[in-house]
Amino acid sequence: MSNSQTSKVEQSVGRYFSRASAADFKKIPGSPIAYWASETIRDAFDKAPSFGEVIRPKVGLQTGSNEKFMRAWHELSIKKIGFSLGSREEAVKEEFKWFPYNKGGDWRKWYGNCEYVVDWEDDGSRIRNFKDDNGKVRSRPQNTDFYFKEGITWADITTSSFAARFSPKGFIFDVKGSSGFPAENVLNLAIGLMNSKLMLGFMRILNPTATFQVGDMSRVPFVSPEVGGQEVEANANKLIALGRNDWNSYETSWGFTNLPLLHHDYCQPTLKSSYQKLRAYWREITLEMQRLEEENNRIFIDAYRLQGELMPEVPLNEVTLTCNPHYRYGTEKSEDELEALLLADTMRELVSYAVGCMFGRYSLGKPGLILANQGETLADYLAQVPQPNFPADDDNVIPLLDGDWFPDDITLRFRQFLRVAFGDAHYEDNLAFIEQALNVKGKRNYSLRDYFLGEFYADHVKRYKKRPIYWLFSSPKGTFSALVYLHRYRPDTVSVVLSYLRDFRKKLASRLDYLQQVAINPSASQSEKTKAIKEGETVKKQLLELDDYERETLYPLATEQVALDLDDGVKVNYLKLGSALKKIVGLEAKED
């Protein structure tokens, strides 16, 4: 619910202020002084069952140190994460270390924010025994019998509206990702009410602060609609499915299988027409979610007899699908601006997926994750994808340079990917479409290589919330840079990067020799000589930069043969390679 809508509700019920007595306020559990609560709302609190009786809200795990015990799922070996387990006993039996962890997150309804995992190996023995220097236990596992149970989760911090999400079995939950556990036959009805227009009004009555505690949730009145209850349940089921499909359409989800743009349902002769068909589908499901939410609102407004106080309409920016630009980018932009942003991000996602295919994390020939465990090799990839039409890089090092210096340069490899994924017939048009979409600032002569050398790594770091899975080795001024995939990293990986650096230096030195010959060639024109001299000076500086980078940084690091343990997380491991890698601002920020 938007702030303007909330104000309207508060104003519409404000006329009851003069009639409210102390006895009226006592109808509301805890007797908060909600002057604007109407008689109808007060009666609901007085006569209806409490939400606590229906969904059993619970606070969960306090680890004592999220830095130590929590990770983004993509940082780790996927085989160490236990998904979809139904109980603590099953989790102990299966002997995984990490388990999905609900901890609030962005404002999103129905499904999503499945991003983190927590160390609950051996029924949380490390967390249970985590103590401070004085021997006092710092952690607090609460309501452990509800861990791994199917339920509903929400963030405890709420500002303009409320958002509840279905939580399938397999999750542990923390304090900021509080959860409720309704009986199966009322789950959809409960989440339907929680994501309706009514919830914010109840929250404002029970706790006017931005923090909505489990105790507040327990006191919300629960009215089961006499008419339309089955429709709410069916609608909620559809809304959860729409939210889940949307969440899993992006590679940051562990449920991601393939890029929607490459799905046969949207495949057209050109990339542009494929995007247009996909965009039409996104519009369709956004409007469908809006319609279903509004239908739920009407049913609950009638059930609570609030027809004169609430309207059922849901603005587009409250339809919480990532493919909905009004939600994704906010309401301050024009339709043209929103469409340009969505197109650019969709092309960035295509590029990111292509890079994943280059490293073997994904494959055009097989859905889902391929290489996602520590130290996996090309042989592991070929065991899963024996005859790839777009093979993974053989040595886990992909150069990002200002020209086609190596056959596995990232720009060359993306062009190959584009031909394989979309065919040769419209290759030039498809490439131009991508470059135009990525060029959001309207730069002249902008190319795919400009994107890789400029924005790509910043986009990757942002996409993975400063816990990147592709790491950028970069000399101080960026003359040399190369990507490696964390999950294929081995102690000798830095030596492989070093060999690329040395090969590149030789090629640059040869280029300098050529330029110096042009500069003294009597048959060359003056403009050719001037241009050669100018470029030669640049190359000399680049060679000095590479020499310093090798001598002071890359060679010493290569001799160390640094080992990484993915369980330590990107925050620890990235710093082990020091200044050899491109600095990530904010990497060392404390975990929430």
- Residues 334-346 have pLDDT tens digits of 999 999 999 999 9
CA–CA gap between residue 54 and residue 482 (Å, rounded): 55
Residue 21 confidence (pLDDT): 47
Q: What pLDDT digit, counting tens, does each position of 497-556 carry?
A: 999 999 999 999 999 999 999 999 999 999 999 999 999 999 999 999 999 999 999 999
Largest CA distance in the chain: 103
CA–CA gap between residue 481 and residue 485 (Å, rounded): 14
* Rounded (10°) CA dihedral 401, 405, 410, 416: 150
Residue 592 confidence (pLDDT): 66
Residue 40 confidence (pLDDT): 84
Q: For residue 484, what is the enclosing H or E element? A: strand 481-485
Detail the DSSP E strand segments found in 139-258.
Answer: 151-154, 164-167, 172-173, 179-180
Residue 423 confidence (pLDDT): 95
- pLDDT value at 462 more than 50: yes
Instruction: Give every strand in the sheet of 470-474, ordered side by side.
Output: 398-399, 481-485, 470-474
Phi/psi of residue 392, nearest 5 degrees = -75, 155
Neighbour-count burial of 404, counting CB atoms closer than 10 A to its CB (0-12 exposed, 13-18 middle, 19+ buried): exposed
Percent of the residues in the chain that have a pLDDT greater than 90, as a whole number: 82
- 345, 437 Cβ separation under 8 angstroms: no
Q: What pLDDT digit, counting tens, does each position of 118-147 carry?
A: 999 999 999 999 999 999 999 999 999 999
Confidence of residue 37 (pLDDT cuts 50, 70, 90): low
- What's the count of helices (H) and strands (E) in the chain, helices before strands? 23, 11
- pLDDT value at 181 more than 90: yes
Q: Where are the domains of the chain?
A: 57-329, 335-580
Residue 157 confidence (pLDDT): 66
Confidence of residue 6 (pLDDT cuts 50, 70, 90): very low
Residue 176 confidence (pLDDT): 80
Q: Which amino acid makes up residue 345?
A: D
Confidence of residue 1 (pLDDT cuts 50, 70, 90): very low
Confidence of residue 19 (pLDDT cuts 50, 70, 90): very low
DSSP 390-411: SPPPSSS-EE--SS--STT-HH
Q: What pLDDT digit, counting tens, does each position of 52-92 carry?
A: 899 999 999 999 999 999 999 999 999 999 999 999 999 99
Tokens, residue 502: 């040395």
- pLDDT value at 50 more than 60: yes
Residue 15 confidence (pLDDT): 37
Q: What is the mean pLDDT of the chain?
A: 92
DSSP 109-144: -BS----EEEE-HHHHHHHHT-B-TTS-B--B--SG
Better-scored residue on pLDDT, 398 or 158: 398
At a CB cut-off of 8 Å and minimum separation 6, what does 285 contact?
A: 242, 246, 321, 323
Q: What pLDDT digit, counting tens, does each position of 219-232 carry?
A: 899 999 999 999 99
CA–CA gap between residue 99 and residue 104 (Å, rounded): 16
